[in-house]
Structure 1
């Protein structure tokens, strides 16, 4: 009998971070699309990895040096976007901000009390979200980055 875990794998992403100016590594869960062809659908919101979003289909292969499945390229974009948010105002509760964006249709994953990564689904209009991000950044509550902005979310 197959379990849920038999349908999922962890994929390693190695990339240069412009924010930290160093080589970084992140692992993400992905559903197996076609193991023989090395195709997997990301099931995680990237914390740091740029240019990928949840539900993207990626090509990954086993890397002898890394000793695990390693990302090589994205083969199908989901249309989802990933936004990285750093809390600047220590008096603001990060979960309050996450709840506000959840009400606008965004899912997020908290890394710690000062940082979270957020997904904007392809079906959600980014205009109101971007307006709220800009407003909060102007008030110095947050700073944010758009490491993976889908074509449908560009203005």
Structure 2
């Protein structure tokens, strides 16, 4: 099975393509062996990721990747440049998911910081934190949501230059 975000809130355009990112065995959940990510072709086998990953770790919106065509698909090969965004995933505890009052209250604060999100399932949400957002404030809000019992969360990738070290820019 491939994690495909065709039903997400992300608008598709004719300029975007899908890059197939195989997942290592330890990251495969619910039978998902790869994730398809929307990307903008930049030329020279380079593509800018244009949505928020739900399954993959170590990659975020706006990262530039190298991909090669294989078996009729664009297959991820490497990260060429970081876009400075970070990715967090939350699992909302309330069955109302993203429509719950607890989520909406905390989400309003994250949205004010420039964060956006995509919903894979009513309760499973992937959050993009842009490079100009205060990652430390975002993280405190995520921790607050967990302490209040609104959600659990995980960090899929921290791409903020002020936080990461030893990675190519």
State the TM-score, normalized to the length of structure 2.
0.77
Alignment equivalent of 2:155, drawn from 138, 146, 150: 146
Is residue 74 of structure 1 aligned with residue 79 of structure 2?
A: yes
Q: CA deviation at 1:144?
A: 0.6
Q: Tell me which residue corresponds to 1:14.
A: 22
Runs of 4 or more above 4 Å deviation = 93-97
Once the two structures are TM-superposed, the CA of residue 81 in structure 1 deviates from its matched residue by 0.4
List alignment gaps of at least 5 residues for structure 1.
none
Q: Does residue 76 of structure 2 align to residue 83 of structure 1?
A: no
User: Does structure 1 retain, via aligned residues, the 8 Å contact 2:90–2:124?
Assistant: yes
Give RMSD over aligned pairs.
Answer: 2.2
Q: Provide the TM-score with structure 1 as the length reference.
A: 0.83
Change (3 A) 1:18 1:153: farther
Deviation at 1:24, TM superposition (A): 2.3
Q: Which runs of 5+ in 2 are unaligned?
A: 1-12, 165-169
CA shift for structure 1 position 22: 5.6
Paired residues in the alignment total: 147
Aligned to 1:49: 56
